[in-house]
Amino acid sequence: MAPTSEPSGRLPGSHLLKALIFDVDGTLSETEELHRRAFNETFAAYGLGWNWSRDDYHRLLKTTGGKERIARHIDEIGADPAGFDIPALHRAKTELYVALMAKGGVPLRFGIAELMANARASGLRLAVATTTSRPNVEALSHAAFGRPAADMFDALACGDEVQEKKPAPDVYLLALERLGLSAAAALALEDSRNGLRAAHAAGLACIVSPSLYTKGEDFTEATAVVAEFAELADLRLLWRLTEG
């Protein structure tokens, strides 16, 4: 698909749209099943006897952050999270996830590559704002693009760099700070209610495309909800949606 030749769109307040800020898990790629596999294989390696089903993981995803998710599970089974080395568990899970991602098999979501290429060609900057850790972002970037994340994005803001994770706005505010832009000059792309809430709290307009684990969530505050990011890839719909 050829890059659009249309001029930059405008967000409310007549500010030129200058950047797109992407969530990662569920937005750039349907990674959650690989995360679930990495959690379960780590739990087995530690002899914990835990195994998260899809239904379990769907529920646990309402809690953002891997360490936080583990703590919630421990609390749900009636144990004391303080009795477990949650950071060590999460480090082991991350190492396994990175290794599994390196083997491939987790493609970008439909339309993401074209959207990124066309946005870049039109002069828009690209950033990431995610609750996942930087090693996970790097693993996906190498698997999907064959290049480091810094080659693909102008700014990276990851969950291990902020005090509060989504739905708090911290990671989006960090992305905006690193871009040197106001919220009015950027647009967030998300797949989940927690991500939408985080973007909204940071003052960002947000377009949502639900993923495997987020279909049916409430996206009332979204600028628009699209079935696939491919609907935005030629940028024409994006310009219309973000015009003041």
Q: Which residues are catalytic?
A: 23, 25
Burial (CB count <10 Å: 0-12, 13-18, 19+), residue 70: buried
Burial (CB count <10 Å: 0-12, 13-18, 19+), residue 126: middle
CA distance 87 to 66: 9
| 189 beta partners | 22, 207
User: Of 30, 52, 31, 32, which is closest to residue 42 (Cα–Cα)?
Assistant: 52
What are the distances in angstroms from CA 186 to CA 44, 131, 147, 230?
A: 42, 19, 24, 19
